[in-house]
Amino acid sequence: MRAWHVEAPGPVTGHPMRLHSDDETPRPGPGELLLQVLACGVCRTDLHVTEGDLPPHQSGVTPGHEVVGEVAAVGEGDTAGFRPGDRAGGAWLRSTDNTCTFCRRDAENLCPASTYTGWDADGGYAEYMTVPAAYAHRLPPGYTNEELAPLLCAGIIGYRALKRAELPPNGRLGIYGFGGSAHLAAQVALARGATVHVLTRGEQAKRLALELGAASVGEADGMPPEPLDAAILFAPVGDLVLPALAALDRGGTLSIAGIHLTDIPPLNYEKHLFQERQLRSVTSNTREDAREFLGFAASHKLKITVHPYPLDHADQAQRDLKAGRFDGAAVLIP
């Protein structure tokens, strides 16, 4: 089978990934599914793996953790009811130990023994991959394979970031940065009655925000037209933490969605935190977050902008993502 491998992590302009055309198709271990990949999203985290911003966990790993597949085979033992021919999703969280204090208190996203698809184990930039059945997802009807792919990380993480922002009912939400994850989280918030203000650079992103129903759009470092009950920072830019905190009303919460953020400049207690404003990070997601979000997607048709690339052009897709050459989500099609 064909599969990409990160052979020398470094800038995507220097070809850190190589496409192999004669890899052996993996075999599903006990409790695992073999997925024939139908579509795989290209997430910014893949870029961090490819470029080495995330330290390599497995040399020559195949990236990709927004995987829409068809179950081609199942391993021995419990495969969570999945059968050959089912459509199934593979996401970032690949496994946890189920026994640590975090797993036992419904915070498996913090499990120190967790492993990740496309970082600790080979992911979906390939024709086939394996996934533990207990961590595979059932996918909502009403979407194409291409549309489903970005839901599996961008969508789930955006959803968790929205939960972590603790937006009150009918509250005022600020969204800083408006890429793949943000435009899905915005649709969830809007469907639940929020007023959404989008602060981002880029005319196309601003136009999309207004089309989806944002009440206002403005520059990323500007001020929204009214104080915010909650905000989510999607742009990986630490400088924006200051204006986002300053825009919060009393008791407001800022959640930072990214796995990677540039340094945050010094905060001024009075201006940025006093009046019980809160600053929170978001780390991965639980399977429950994924089930909730995919359930939401089943009952509300989300508008998803995708840019398909053939699997053989995965390196180009990553270069285009890095250069910001498209809005929405790049998706690889084997």
Residue number, 43 or 257, with CB nearest to Zn ion: 43
Amino acid at 46: D
Judged by beta carbon, residue 111 or residue 194, the one nearer Zn ion is 111
Give the nearest distance from C-beta 153 to Zn ion in angstroms.
Answer: 3
- Stretch near Zn ion under the rule CB under 5 A, chosen from 2-10, 111-119, 131-139, 311-319: 111-119
| 97 belongs to the binding site for Zn ion (CB under 5 A) | yes
Minimum CB–partner distance for residue 197 and Zn ion (Å): 25
Residues 92 and 118: their CA atoms lie apart, in Å, by 8
Q: Express the helix, strand and coil content of the chain in percent, nearest 5 each.
A: 30, 25, 45
**Residue among 64, 142, 73 at smallest CA distance from 302:** 142
Instruction: Calculate the CA dihedral of residues 202, 207, 210, 212 and round it to 10 degrees.
Output: -100
| Using rule CB under 5 A, residue 100 touches Zn ion | yes
Angle, helix 156-164 to helix 287-299, in steps of 10 degrees: 100
Is there binding between residue 8 and Zn ion (CB under 5 A)?
Answer: no
Can you tell me the distance from the alpha carbon of 65 to that of 117, in angstroms, rounded to the nearest whole number? 5
User: Is 103 a binder of Zn ion (CB under 5 A)?
Assistant: yes
Q: Which of 71, 111, 173, 175 binds Zn ion (CB under 5 A)?
A: 111
Please, which of residues 208-237 interact with Zn ion by CB under 5 A? none
Distance separating alpha carbons of residues 221 and 217, to the nearest angstrom: 12
43 binding Zn ion? (CB under 5 A): yes
* Shorter beta-carbon distance to Zn ion: residue 197 or 293: 293
Which 130-159 positions form the footprint of Zn ion (CB under 5 A)? Answer: 153
Binding site for Zn ion (CB under 5 A): 43, 45, 96-97, 100, 103, 111, 153
